[in-house]
Amino acid sequence: MSRVFAGLALVHHSAWPACEIIARHLVAGGECPRNLMPFLDDAHQVGLLRVVGPVYQFRHADLRDHLAGRSKG
């Protein structure tokens, strides 16, 4: 992963190619769904996420913390 970030730091680019490279890397590692936008839209429709401007946010802090690997106590 560090090679990916190093390569991005050395090249002048817009944000979109960088986002695409990172997304592909996360999908290949099983850390991100292949079709991210439909996944986020579904999570929004069932109430797990809310949309604030261009950003998706978790509606429940406990779920966010659980998915991030942080637990209370």
What is the tally of structural domains in the chain?
2
pLDDT value at residue 7: 60
Same structural domain, 72 and 40: yes
- Residue scoring higher pLDDT (10 or 68): 68
Same structural domain, 11 and 23: yes
pLDDT value at residue 17: 76
Q: Which residue has the tokens 């797990």?
A: 48
Same structural domain, 41 and 24: no
pLDDT value at residue 72: 61
Same structural domain, 44 and 61: yes
Same structural domain, 59 and 71: yes
pLDDT value at residue 45: 94
Q: Residue 21: which domain range?
A: 1-32
Same structural domain, 55 and 21: no
Distance CA 62, CA 73 (A): 12
Distance CA 1, CA 56 (A): 24
Give per-residue pLDDT as tens, 11-51: 565 677 777 888 888 889 988 888 888 988 999 999 999 99
Same structural domain, 53 and 24: no
Q: Which residue has the tokens 């390569």?
A: 7
Q: Would the pTM count as exceeding 0.75?
A: no
